[in-house]
Amino acid sequence: MIRLDNIVKSFAGQTVLDGVSLELAEGGVTALIGPSGSGKSTLLRCANLLEVPDAGELRLAGEALRFEAGRKLPRDAILRVRRITGMVFQSFQLFPHQTALQNVMEGLIAVQRWPHERAQRRALELLDKVGMAHKAQAWPATLSGGQQQRVAIARALAPSPQLLLCDEPTSALDPELAAEVVAVLRQLAAEGVTMLMATHDLRLAASVARDVVFLERGRIVEAGGAAQIFRQPREARTAEYVATLTAGAREAALGG
């Protein structure tokens, strides 16, 4: 079970998350949607402690961490959570001085202490999974945005995380390149990879996610199955927001 309970997070006195609670289905994909500034990315970063909440609780793979203002978490607890989560960033964050293959191998060698040959085999398998095996020796600067993001997904999957976090994985890409990344995410969803993604791309949320959470001003407005949220939302504000995804595109994404 993966749970975030009553998560509160503020920056410079401004509350960004205001008592958010969320339970993620293992083997499912949950999409966080909402306008800019709603707290989507902050909630995502709280899930792997890139941002430590001011209050609340995180339960993940046997870890149960409580957060209190002024109480510092032990570093080993933070590292344990990060080892069982993978992060895909909007801006790829590949190491420019390493090839695609080296980028995927780096964490396995430096953090997991895998032998070089084992790490290389794992990295090549993952590059093949995301359709990038033919670019294993390429430098990031020679890759398109979609290709870089696929390498970044392979890197995040390398240690077999129990939770894959995706922060706006397609927003830096044009539609054609975004389609490459969406295809990979769909494949991972079909394989049962547990994912939590923050996205402005409602087509991505409608076509990949099983569950959708609509956030605004740091609170959950509505949560439910993707079909319910996009076809028959209960809250008027949710209906207003998802109307930005045209009816035809919504039906196509949800399978008619």
Confidence of residue 173 (pLDDT cuts 50, 70, 90): confident
pLDDT digit string, tens, across residues 229-255: 999 999 999 999 998 765 555 565 566
CB 9 within 8 A of CB 53: yes
Give the span between the Cα atoms of 22 and 57, in whole angstroms.
11
pLDDT for 202 equals 87
Confidence of residue 184 (pLDDT cuts 50, 70, 90): very high
Mean pLDDT on 10-23: 95
Name the β-bridge partners of 18.
8
Pairing state between β 55-60 and 2-11: antiparallel
Confidence of residue 40 (pLDDT cuts 50, 70, 90): very high
**Which class for 256: exposed (0-12), middle (13-18), buried (19 or more C-beta within 10 A)?**
exposed
Q: Which residue has the higher pLDDT, 109 or 245?
A: 109
Query: In the chain, what percentage of residues exceed pLDDT 70?
Result: 95
Confidence of residue 222 (pLDDT cuts 50, 70, 90): very high
Q: What is the dihedral of CA 209, 174, 98, 86, to 10 degrees?
A: -10
Nearest CA among 47, 79, 57 for reference residue 195: 47
Strands (E), 44-99: 55-60, 63-67, 85-88
Give the span between the Cα atoms of 215 and 90, in whole angstroms.
19
**Which class for 19: exposed (0-12), middle (13-18), buried (19 or more C-beta within 10 A)?**
middle
Q: Which two tokens stand for residue 74?
A: 């032990």
Centre a 10 Å sphere on the Cβ of residue 78 and count the other Cβ atoms it contains. Answer: 16
**Which class for 213: exposed (0-12), middle (13-18), buried (19 or more C-beta within 10 A)?**
buried
Residue 116 reports pLDDT greater than 70: yes
Mean pLDDT on 65-71: 89
Question: Measured between alpha carbons, how far apart are the two ends of the chain, in Å?
Answer: 31
pLDDT for 63 equals 82
Q: What is the CATH number of domain 1-84+164-170+192-256?
A: 3.40.50.300
pLDDT for 203 equals 85
Query: In the chain, what percentage of residues exceed pLDDT 90?
Result: 72
pTM value is 0.90
Mean pLDDT on 179-188: 91
Q: Which two tokens stand for residue 246?
A: 């045209």
Confidence of residue 58 (pLDDT cuts 50, 70, 90): very high
Centre a 10 Å sphere on the Cβ of residue 196 and count the other Cβ atoms it contains. Answer: 26
What residues does each domain of the chain span?
1-84+164-170+192-256, 91-160
pLDDT for 255 equals 64
Contacts of 142-145 with C-beta under 8 Å, sequence gap 24+, read 143/100, 144/177, 145/92, 145/172, 145/173, 145/174, 145/177
Q: Which amino acid is at 213?
A: V
CB 213 within 8 A of CB 30: yes
CB 209 within 8 A of CB 193: no
